[in-house]
Chain A
Amino acid sequence: MINRDLVIIGGGSAGMAAAVAAYDHGVRDILILERTDLLGGILNQCIHNGFGLHEFNEELTGPEFLTRFANQVKERGIEYKLGSYVSSITRDKVVTYSNEEDGAVQIQAKAIIVAAGCYERNAGAIGIPGDRVAGIITAGQAQLYLNEYGYMVGKKVFILGSGDIGLIMARRMTLEGAKVLGVAELMPYSNGLNRNIQQCLKDFDIPLYLSHTVSKTIGKGKLEAIEISQVDEKLRPIPGTEKRFECDTLLLSIGLIPNNGLLDNIGVAQGRSRGSAVNEHLETEIDGIFSCGNVLHVHDLVDWVVSEGKVAGEAAALYLEGKLNRGSKKIVTVAGDGVGYVVPAEVDLEEAPEKLQFKFRCRKPTKNVYITYSLNGNVIKRFYKQTIIPSEMEIDPIPKSLLTEEGTLTVSLTPKEVK
C-alpha cells in the first residue's frame, strides 16, 4: 500500500482549489485523482461566459476559468492522475482507485478531500409516460457532446426543466441551427437564473411554459413528438390541456444531485442537501475526511465552489499538522420555515474561526422577508431580502461572537410585518 498525506478525489474546480490551498498552507504530499482525461470537471463543457466575477473580477468562459486553476496546480508541482476512477474509500482513509497504467491501487491517506461534483437527474428519475425511445437525454450530456465532441444531438428540440443547464443549452442549440420549440417547467417559477431566462430564452423568442410538464413521449424507436400538459397545484397534469410538439430530441434539465456515493457507502452522516453533514471546516463526522463543492451541496456559481474548496484545503492542512481538533461544545444548524437545508450542519464553538458563513437555499420564491438566525429560540441576526429564490444559494456571514452558547441554530424565513 502507498502512503500519501492528502488525497483529493475530483480534479474539478473544488478539488483544484482545495489542492492549491492545501499546498499554500504547507502540505507537499498531495495527489489529485480525476476520473476524466482533463482537469477542470464540468467547466470543460461550460464554454459560455459568466464565470469568475467574484474570484478574478472578470468574466471568463468555463475553459478559461479552469485553465487558471489548472495552471496554479501545475505551477506548484501538485501531482494529479487523470483517467483515475476512485471506487471506494474506507473510514480508515484507504482510497482504492484504478487507471490504465497503474491498475488497481490502494492508498493509505492521512487526509481525504472528497470533491466529486454532482450528477444530473435523468429520465428514469421522473417516469414520463409514453414510448421509450431514443432522443431523450440530459441537457448536460447534450452539452458534452456538442461542446467537447462537436456534434449535435438533434434538430428539433424541446426542453423539460428550466434549470440553468437547460436554458444554456436552449441558446447553444439555437445558435448551432437547431429549432428549440420551448421549455416546460413543472413549478410556477423558473429554476434558472434571471439572466439566463433573458439571454437564453427571450433573446431567441423561445417560449417558457411555467406549471407545465411533459405528459407523453411519442415515437417508434426514435422520438417523434411530445405532449406537454399544464399541471394543477399538486403538480398533476390537467386532462384537456395537452399541447403537441413534433421534435426529435427532449433535453432534461431537472435537477442535480451531489455525487456522494463514496461517503454514503461508508455510512457518513448526511446533511439535508443530500451531501454529507459537515462542520465549519467542511470536515465530515470522520476526522480528516472533508467534503466540498457540488458533492456537498449543488452550487449555482463556481466562485463559491472555489471558495469552499479553499476552506477544505486549508482545513486539511491544519488537520495534517495536528492543529484541527474537535471541541466539546457545538451548535447544530436546523433548516427552519422556508429553508431547504443549511451548510454547515454543525459549528464547533471552540475551534471555529471568528468569521463564519452559512449557506442555504430557500424552498420557494419569497418576497419581503427576513432571513432569521435564532440560537435556541432567540434571534441573533436578521437579514432583510426583497426577494429570495431557490435557484440562488444564499450566503450569510455570522460572526462567532454571536454564537454565545451550545444548542440549535435555526435558519428560517420570516415575513416582514406590514404596518
Chain B
Amino acid sequence: MPTELTCIICPNGCHLTVDDNLNVTGNKCPRGVAYGKQEVTDPRRTITTTVRTNSKTFAVCPVKTREAVAKKLIFKVMEEANKTTIAVPVHIGDVVVKDIAGSGTDLVATRDIEE
C-alpha cells in the first residue's frame, strides 16, 4: 500500500507518495526521493538540543547529532545529552559525545563559547 508523507527536508514540505516498490512521487527536488525511500525503510532525524557547560556566560551550549539518527534512538540520545556537561572553550563542530547512544554519529557543538 502506498504511504503518504510530508517531506521534512526543507521548508517546502512537499506531499510525497511512496509506493510498495519505493517509487516516490510529489517531490519538487531529488532530495525528496531520497527522503521518501529513507522514511519508509529506516526513518531518521537530526536531533538538536543543549548540554550544560561550565561557562560563566552560557548555562547551556546548543548541540546536534552530526548525522540523522534512527528515530527510535531519539530519547536515548536525549538521555545521554542531558547527563553531559562540557568544558569551555568549545567551538562549532567540536565533538561533545562520541557515537552518542550507539547511533554511529557524534553529538557536536553548534555554538562557539570562549569562556
Chain A residues proximal to chain B, CB less than 8 Å? 47-50, 53, 59, 61-64, 67, 146-150, 172, 175-177, 193-199, 202-203, 300-301, 392
* A194–B110 CB distance below 8 A: no
Residues of B within 8 A of A67 (CB): 92, 111-112
Q: Is the interface of A mostly helix, strand, loop or mixed?
A: helix
- Contact A47 B50, CB 8 Å, known A64-B110, A67-B111, A175-B78: yes
Which B residues lie within 8 Å of A49 (CB)?
46, 48, 64
The answer on a CB contact under 8 Å between B78 and A61 is no
Q: Which residue of A lies closest to B47 (CB)?
A: A175
Chain A residues with CB under 8 A of B60: 147-150
Starting from the known contacts A67-B112, A195-B11, 5 additional A-B residue pairs (CB-CB under 8 Å) come to A50-B10, A61-B64, A149-B60, A150-B52, A193-B11
Residue in contact with A199 in the complex, picked from B8, B15, B75, B92, CB distance below 8 Å: B8
Chain B residue with the shortest CB-CB distance to A389: B13
Residue contact B74 to A195, C-beta cutoff 8 Å: no
What's the interface size class on B, roughly? 20 to 34
Please state if B49 and A175 are interface contacts (CB–CB under 8 Å).
Answer: yes
- B residues engaging A (CB < 8 A)? 5-13, 15, 45-50, 52, 58-60, 62, 64, 71, 74-75, 78, 82, 92, 110-112
User: Closest CB of chain A to B22's CB: distance in Å?
Assistant: 19
Q: Could you say which of B10, B11, B110 contacts A61, with CB atoms under 8 Å apart?
A: B110
Report which residue of B10, B75, B82 has the largest number of chain A beta carbons within 10 angstroms of its beta carbon. Answer: B10
Whether the pair A194, B15 counts as a contact (CB closer than 8 A) is yes
The 4 closest A-B pairs by CB, nearest first: A194-B13, A47-B62, A150-B60, A150-B59
Cβ of B45: which chain A residues have Cβ within 8 Å of it?
Answer: 199, 203
Give, as a whole number of angstroms, the nearest-CB distance from B32 to chain A. Answer: 11
Closest CB-CB distance, A254 to chain B, in whole Å?
21
Nearest chain B CB to A151 CB, angstrom units = 8
Across the two chains, which residue of chain A brings its CB closest to B81? Answer: A175
Chain B residues with Cβ under 8 A from A148's Cβ?
Answer: 58-60
B8 touches A198 (CB 8 A): yes
Q: How distant is B7 from chain A, measured CB to nearest CB, in Å?
A: 7
Question: Which residues does chain A contribute within 8 Å of B58, judged by CB atoms?
Answer: 148
Which residues of B lie under 8 Å from residue A172 when comparing CB positions? Answer: 49
Query: Which residues of A lie under 8 Å from residue B50 when comparing CB positions?
Result: 47, 146-147, 150
A300 x B62 contact (CB < 8 A): no
Checking A50, A63, A195, A300 against B110 with a beta-carbon cut-off of 8 angstroms, the contacting residue is A63
Q: Is the CB of B62 within 8 A of A392?
A: no
Instruction: Provide the residues of chain A in CB contact with B52, threshold 8 Å.
Output: 150
Within 8 Å CB of B9, what residues of A?
195
Known: A175-B47, A300-B11. A198 touches B6 (CB 8 A): yes
Most chain B beta-carbon contacts within 10 A, residue among A61, A62, A149: A61
Say yes or no: A61-B6 contact (C-beta < 8 A), given A147-B60, A194-B15.
no
Q: Could you tell me if B78 and A176 are in contact, using CB atoms closer than 8 angstroms?
A: yes
Docked complex Cα distance between A59 and B50 (Å): 18
Q: B residues within 8 A CB of A48?
A: 48
Among A61, A177, A301, point to the contact of B62 (Cβ < 8 A).
A61
Q: What residue in chain A is nearest B77 (Cβ atoms)? A: A175
Bound Cα distance A58, B7 (Å): 16
Nearest residue (CB) in A for B111 is: A63
Of chain B, the residue at the smallest CB distance from A175 is B78
B10 touches A53 (CB 8 A): yes
Contact between B59 and A195, CB atoms less than 8 A apart: no
A67-B111, A150-B60 given as contacts; is B8 within 8 A of A61 (CB)?
A: no
Which residue of chain B has its CB nearest to the CB of A146? B50
Q: Contacts of A196 on B, CB cut-off 8 Å?
A: 13
Q: How far is the CA of A148 from the CA of B78 in the complex (A)?
A: 17
Known pairs A149-B59, A198-B6; A47 contacts B110 (CB<8 A): yes
Nearest CB in chain A: distance from B35 CB, A? 10
Chain A proximity of B19: nearest CB distance (Å): 19
Q: How distant is A72 from chain B, measured CB to nearest CB, in Å?
A: 14
For B71, what are the chain A residues with a Cβ–Cβ distance below 8 Å? 203
Give the docked Cα–Cα distance between A113 and B96 (Å): 39
